Structure 1
Amino acid sequence: MAERIILPLADESEDIVMRLPSEEATALHTLLSNLSYAEMIEKGLSIEQAEMIGRITHVCY
């Protein structure tokens, strides 16, 4: 299950960090990276939501 965290605590932006187990993160990245904007919209995302996917930063540590 994903845990929603806002980091750093002093940051007033609305950036959200999701901490996922490695297997879930890999599966999600694989799924999203293989979909075009048109396919995401066809599956029910709005244009704005589809564009947000392109702004996701993947971090591994």
Structure 2
Amino acid sequence: MKKITISLDDAVYQFYQSVGKNAGGLSVEQVAADALFKLAGELSLNALHKKNIQG
């Protein structure tokens, strides 16, 4: 597994921190990783759907 480093605005960090706390104590890093993974999946599905429509 590869590690990356990203910079987050303080407000985004606090948002992910709040989400993690409400999700049972997840870390900011885990919440951000989960959000990026979900986004990647959605983008992939959209690309496949667009490809199928275009033929």
For Structure 1 versus Structure 2, the TM-score category normalised by the shorter chain is 0.3 to 0.5
The structure that has the greater radius of gyration is: 2
Higher strand proportion = 1
Higher helix proportion = 2
